[in-house]
Chain A
């Protein structure tokens, strides 16, 4: 990534014109002006997520994220940040994913400096104590019960991921395995925090009613004062080529309508050869993105055997990612028939490709989504942050519509043929519990 610290800062009032620059300590800053409402979203994206966790410490990335709010710092008592955000009517939260951990505050522009000051402070000065660790670990255990253990669909998804991925850490749930979560301790948290929560491992994205010059000055005054840490290389286990067809089945008394999903390992925007990820994006749209898609039209409208059907491609990842199709039956239709019909639609694209007309329409929908995203500065902030935290650049985001427009029907057919191989897939079945 080539970025000059002296990159020229754009003039004010350039609505939506993105400026990016580096602080001396290596922290990257992206500014997206939008002056329609007196609101600014401030996000700090750390280039670390659950897939960067040490073995046996699953959930530590997410746990440290929680502790960033729970703990005191050398400059602020516990809870002070929360009260400060509340006092200005702000919204703040954070999220952890496989490849990144992000913290955000949405506030009036007059409160931006205060938010930056708090966020920069806890980047370096967090004081973790054992009481905080114990209480917050209980909170995370409750979060795991809420999100996963109370929900058969989520339990199955967790097991499907653990089966699809054999080596790559995406096999481990972001929230962590219960038995590992229960043992996370002070040492685990401190060593993770000390290593990764550094300015040179973070991207600041500020979107909304603010000028780039202002953000630059405030960032230098706050984050700029935090010392850089060691440079970090993200070394991840590489996935072996999949050469089997795998299935995972969960039966549960809470399930009355069965469903299946089939997943394949495919490249992400970061790992793909040029044009392939864009082709996969369009393939997902044509195959199963909404009610004009092939799966919807064929399974719900023409054959009338599905209540639900679709496809999904998760492109914004640091490593290889997954492509999924899913469906659930309507009325008395058999799940096996539905699966066969869905697979037939995949096979049809592999064999005959897609039409120019459906490709054009898919391109229009994807490009339209970028225009619609401009309506919400926080959406843009998310686009840039997630791209930059998974190995992409500002340019990648800006040129994305053009790259989508250049995809050919042959490319879409080629990625379908190359990656959606029936014998190299993982299928999860969620089934009612029947009496045997």
Chain B
């Protein structure tokens, strides 16, 4: 679902709450993989706060990191990204990068899988790696008392992963099980069909986790070769938050990353415009039909990015108050969730509208979405809507992106990936505030006048009820 919808039914959390890691929005949309990197909204007061004094740390060996030093809680969180994600999978070996990220805690250096995991547990640290389209994201959260042991294990994982045959086969089997589980699932089928339809043969059209045939052919040697190609210093971005000072961090940065090769070897990836103006349907007898519409998007570096951001917020980005929410859910009770997102991947961008509704009223819901979009394209928002949206986007930043060490670290790495500068958080409110109504109207016309690509999962529209 695209928003945190009101009235979630809690799965009562275990006692005590096992420290929920990361509030990164997990979207049900394939385009949304780097979603987190684009919604950068700001609370100006924050910059005055000690907790958000961002230092730039440069190690002796030349590794750069952004640090937010805070000794209140005895925890250190590190987040880093190597550029070049699943798009780097070679043709025929799709799923390689995704498989690799499942193997960093399965043995490194002199430690086999078993020994590595016992030591990691003893060190009181949580390590995770994730393959995204445009980058490999790594993170670790540790108790500061045992950070030396934790960093040492992370150093081994980053520099000398083993990719032993037994764990490779075990993790591959787990991934394959997921691929097989998705085969008859209508939502998963639709997602695959959608990617092929809008991206054609571009690497963005391929499933991150690969397919059965490609997974079978991946060897430990393949994994080793790609680790060497991607884990290098010129594609690295690092942020650290918590109970560590700049001097200590500088030493740790050299330990962690100082011995990596200087240059990545990445295959060039072309930019791609999603192919719009088409309909992708998966017909299945379901009680509820899922709908997704893709419109053109705007990249973060484009001059009209903030105008588009505000327009999207008013259209469907802001939960509970957006136009789509008002028309589809509040007035008509047609859906539990409805919203829109701007999605900004490195090589493509889009504005996505998503909802799900009872199948016998899906055609009606789609036509209301079309009407809301058309009104926005033709009239744009009102001055009052724009004022409200500016306040919302400025205030929401800290709450959505800076509410724990892990989320601050993830946010800071996102700023680096988007080349937004270490002072971005200070500047952001002004960038939003200075957008004019005319600029937002122009953005609405530009993005929403296009014929969208539409995905329908459920009974044929109008074919039921």
B288 at the interface (CB under 8 A from A): yes
- How far does the Cβ of A253 sit from chain B's closest Cβ, in whole Å? 6
CB pair A108 B395 closer than 8 Å = yes
B6 at the interface (CB under 8 A from A): yes
CB pair B19 A369 closer than 8 Å = yes
Identify which of A142, A256, A315 contacts B334 (C-beta below 8 A). A142
CB pair A316 B14 closer than 8 Å = yes
Chain B residues with CB below 8 A from A380, complex form: 17
CB pair B321 A316 closer than 8 Å = no
CB pair B8 A89 closer than 8 Å = no
CB pair B336 A139 closer than 8 Å = yes
CB pair B9 A254 closer than 8 Å = no
Size range of the interface on A? Answer: 35 or more
Q: Identify the closest chain A residue to B125 (Cβ).
A: A368
CB pair A66 B6 closer than 8 Å = yes
CB pair A146 B17 closer than 8 Å = no
Q: Identify the closest chain A residue to B387 (Cβ).
A: A87
CB pair A376 B337 closer than 8 Å = no
A138 at the interface (CB under 8 A from B): yes
Report how far A316 CA is from B9 CA in the complex, Å. 15
Report how far A35 CA is from B52 CA in the complex, Å. 12
- How far does the Cβ of B235 sit from chain A's closest Cβ, in whole Å? 29
CB pair A86 B17 closer than 8 Å = no
Q: Identify the closest chain B residue to A331 (Cβ).
A: B173
A58 at the interface (CB under 8 A from B): no
Report how far A175 CA is from B117 CA in the complex, Å. 40
Identify which of A86, A312, A372, A397 contacts B320 (C-beta below 8 A). A86
Chain A residues with CB below 8 A from B18, complex form: 369, 373
Provide the A1-45 mask, 1 if CB < 8 A to any CB of B, else 0. Answer: 000000000000001100000000000000000111111000000
B267 at the interface (CB under 8 A from A): no
Q: A106-B399, A139-B335 are in contact. Are A86 and B318 (CB under 8 A)?
A: yes
- How far does the Cβ of B390 sit from chain A's closest Cβ, in whole Å? 10
CB pair A89 B173 closer than 8 Å = no
Report how far A90 CA is from B388 CA in the complex, Å. 12
Report how far A380 CA is from B126 CA in the complex, Å. 19
Report how far A378 CA is from B391 CA in the complex, Å. 23
A69 at the interface (CB under 8 A from B): yes
Identify which of A65, A86, A378 contacts B392 (C-beta below 8 A). A86
CB pair A386 B12 closer than 8 Å = yes
Provide the B199-239 mask, 1 if CB < 8 A to any CB of A, else 0. Answer: 00000000000000000000000000000000000000000
Report how far A331 CA is from B72 CA in the complex, Å. 48
Select the residue from A79, A91, A300 with max chain B CB neighbours within 10 A.
A91
B330 at the interface (CB under 8 A from A): yes
B contact patch SS = mixed
A136 at the interface (CB under 8 A from B): yes
A57 at the interface (CB under 8 A from B): no
Identify which of B16, B170, B173 contacts A370 (C-beta below 8 A). B16
Q: A108-B45, A139-B333, A150-B288 are in contact. Are A83 and B19 (CB under 8 A)?
A: no
Chain A residues with CB below 8 A from B124, complex form: 364, 368
Report how far A46 CA is from B99 CA in the complex, Å. 45
Report how far A314 CA is from B49 CA in the complex, Å. 38
Provide the B262-298 mask, 1 if CB < 8 A to any CB of A, else 0. Answer: 0000000000000000000000001110000000000
- How far does the Cβ of B366 sit from chain A's closest Cβ, in whole Å? 15
CB pair A316 B15 closer than 8 Å = yes
B92 at the interface (CB under 8 A from A): no
A382 at the interface (CB under 8 A from B): yes
Q: Identify the closest chain B residue to A143 (Cβ).
A: B336
A96 at the interface (CB under 8 A from B): yes
- How far does the Cβ of B166 sit from chain A's closest Cβ, in whole Å? 8
Q: Identify the closest chain A residue to B18 (Cβ).
A: A369
A107 at the interface (CB under 8 A from B): yes
CB pair B288 A253 closer than 8 Å = no
Find residues 150-199 in chain B having any chain A CB closer than 8 Å to their own CB: 170, 173-174, 176-178, 180-181, 183-186
Q: Identify the closest chain B residue to A371 (Cβ).
A: B143
Identify which of B321, B356, B391, B397 contacts A82 (C-beta below 8 A). B321
Find residues 278-334 in chain A having any chain B CB closer than 8 Å to their own CB: 281, 291-292, 300-301, 304, 307-308, 312-317, 328-331
Q: A316-B14, A397-B16 are in contact. Are A15 and B72 (CB under 8 A)?
A: yes
Number of B residues contacting the other chain (C-beta, 8 Å)?
Answer: 86
Chain A residues with CB below 8 A from B43, complex form: 38, 89, 108
B421 at the interface (CB under 8 A from A): no
CB pair B288 A83 closer than 8 Å = no
Find residues 62-90 in chain A having any chain B CB closer than 8 Å to their own CB: 62, 65-66, 69-70, 79, 82-83, 85-90
Chain B residues with CB below 8 A from A83, complex form: 321, 388
Q: A108-B398, A254-B184 are in contact. Are A361 and B121 (CB under 8 A)?
A: yes
A255 at the interface (CB under 8 A from B): yes
A182 at the interface (CB under 8 A from B): no
Provide the A209-237 mask, 1 if CB < 8 A to any CB of B, else 0. Answer: 00000000000000000000000000000
Chain A residues with CB below 8 A from B410, complex form: none
Report how far A134 CA is from B330 CA in the complex, Å. 11
- How far does the Cβ of A261 sit from chain B's closest Cβ, in whole Å? 14
CB pair A98 B396 closer than 8 Å = no
- How far does the Cβ of B165 sit from chain A's closest Cβ, in whole Å? 13
CB pair B405 A375 closer than 8 Å = yes
Chain B residues with CB below 8 A from A313, complex form: 14
- How far does the Cβ of B317 sit from chain A's closest Cβ, in whole Å? 11
B70 at the interface (CB under 8 A from A): yes
Q: Identify the closest chain A residue to B4 (Cβ).
A: A93
CB pair B7 A87 closer than 8 Å = no
B261 at the interface (CB under 8 A from A): no
CB pair B183 A256 closer than 8 Å = yes
In the A-B complex, list the 3 residue pairs whose CB atoms are closest, starting with the nearest.
Answer: A89-B395, A138-B333, A372-B19
Binding site for B on A (CB under 8 A): 15-16, 34-39, 62, 65-66, 69-70, 79, 82-83, 85-99, 102, 106-108, 134-143, 145-147, 149-150, 174-175, 253-257, 269, 281, 291-292, 300-301, 304, 307-308, 312-317, 328-331, 361, 364-365, 368-380, 382-383, 386-387, 397, 400, 432
Binding site for A on B (CB under 8 A): 1, 4-20, 41, 43, 45-46, 49, 51-52, 70, 72-75, 77, 114, 117-118, 121-122, 124, 126, 141, 143, 170, 173-174, 176-178, 180-181, 183-186, 286-288, 318, 320-321, 329-337, 356-358, 388, 391-400, 402-406
